[in-house]
């Protein structure tokens, strides 16, 4: 039976941080603030996969109060979500995600993001969709105060 999960994450932009999205370091004057590398794209995808399993969110498995995850690459979180799918004898069918950012431009980095996510989830790159949109200069995203991502994942479970 196919199960579907959704994920959403948002982080504020901050000085002195690297901007990591989909495991790609993107040149930008600010990076995302968070306990780990604050990769909103990978975090949203992780929550989508966990949701398809009926599990709690990323914060339950990797709490920001745990020093082990300080500065951790979010690929670790995706690896664990994929491991949980395998533990349940399931298979991730596909992932689709959208990054919401006024800047920087995401499209030049999408292919490498797909590669990184595919490797972390042990999934064929053709089963991963990544899109980007702006917030049309509206709200905190439009004022370039943060970046958000939303994702959906489908998982086939016995």
Domain ranges of the chain: 2-156
Let me know: does 18 contact 47? Beta carbons within 8 Å: no
Torsion angles phi and psi, residue 93, rounded to 5: -85, -50
CATH code for the domain defined by 2-156: 3.30.1330.50
Let me know: does 148 contact 10? Beta carbons within 8 Å: yes
Q: pLDDT 10s digit of each residue in the chain, 158 long?
A: 999 999 999 999 999 999 999 999 999 999 999 999 999 999 999 999 999 999 999 999 898 888 888 889 999 999 999 999 999 999 999 999 999 999 999 999 999 999 999 999 999 999 999 999 999 999 999 999 999 999 999 999 99
CA distances to 33, 39, 64, 141 from 116, rounded to whole Å, are 21, 12, 23, 25
Please give the pLDDT value at position 10: 98
- Smallest CA-to-CA distance from 12 within 131, 121, 139, 140 is with 140
Please, where are the H alpha helices in the chain?
40-52, 58-61, 75-87, 110-121, 139-142
Q: In whole angstroms, what is the distance from residue 60 CA to residue 62 CA?
A: 6
Please give the pLDDT value at position 39: 98
Q: In whole angstroms, what is the distance from residue 15 CA to residue 33 CA?
A: 9
Please give the pLDDT value at position 43: 98
């Amino acid at each position: 039976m196919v199960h579907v999960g959704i994920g959403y994450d948002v982080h504020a932009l901050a000085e002195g941080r690297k901007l990591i999205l989909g495991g790609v370091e993107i040149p930008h004057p600010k990076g995302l603030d968070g306990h780990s590398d604050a990769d909103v794209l990978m975090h949203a995808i992780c929550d989508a996969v966990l949701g398809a399993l009926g599990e709690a969110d990323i914060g339950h498995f990797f709490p920001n109060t745990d020093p082990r995850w300080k500065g951790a690459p979010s690929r670790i979180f995706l690896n664990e979500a994929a491991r949980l799918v395998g533990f349940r004898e399931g298979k991730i069918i596909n992932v689709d995600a959208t990054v919401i950012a006024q800047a920087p431009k995401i499209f030049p980095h999408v292919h490498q993001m797909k590669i990184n996510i595919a490797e972390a989830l042990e999934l064929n790159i053709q089963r991963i969709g990544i899109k980007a949109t702006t917030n049309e200069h509206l709200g905190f995203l439009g004022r370039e105060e943060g970046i958000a991502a939303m994702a959906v994942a489908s998982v086939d479970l016995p």
